Amino acid sequence: MGTIPLHVREFTNSLENGESAADYIEEVLCAAKRDLSAFTHEPILEALKLSPDGVRIKVFRGIESKGVNLAEPKQVALAMKERNAIIYHHPSGEYRMASRAHRTALIERWSPLRKSP
């Protein structure tokens, strides 16, 4: 649960409508996990799982995913727009989680699909 006013309002509305806090939080975390699972560039998620407060883009120099240079935020932008799980924080030059729910879902629940050999 974050402190963005819209999220606080949605949370209080849910409580007023009889939904439990635990159910609301579970719903938000499940939605965040779905965003993470559908994010195109798994190497960014894997790096963020190790460093959930942000990963500098220079870490991705020379790394491509699905034809996209991961060190170029403009190339990754389409994936960030399609799934609002990751943002590029321009002042710090880092990829970061889009919300507290995404951060929590990444740390506690997300695991990449393992490919069979």
Please give the residue that has the higher pLDDT: either 2 or 83: 83
C-alpha dihedral sign at 92, 82, 68, 86: positive
- What is the full DSSP assignment across the chain? ----HHHHHHHHHHHHTT--HHHHHHHHHHHHHHHHHH-S-HHHHHHHHHSTT-EEGGGGTT-EETTEETT-HHHHHHHHHHSTTEEEETTTTEEEESSHHHHHHHHHT--PPPPP-
Domain coordinates in residue numbering, the chain: 5-108
What are the pLDDT digits (tens) for 3-58? 667 778 888 888 899 989 999 899 999 999 999 999 999 999 999 999 999 999 99
| CATH tag, 5-108 | 1.10.10.10
pLDDT of residue 4: 67
Given a contact cutoff of 8 angstroms between Cβ atoms, the answer to whether 87 and 57 are in contact is: no
Please, what is the angle between helix 21-38 and helix 5-16, to 10°? 130
What are the pLDDT digits (tens) for 48-86? 999 999 999 999 999 999 999 999 999 999 999 998 899
- pTM for the full predicted model: 0.81
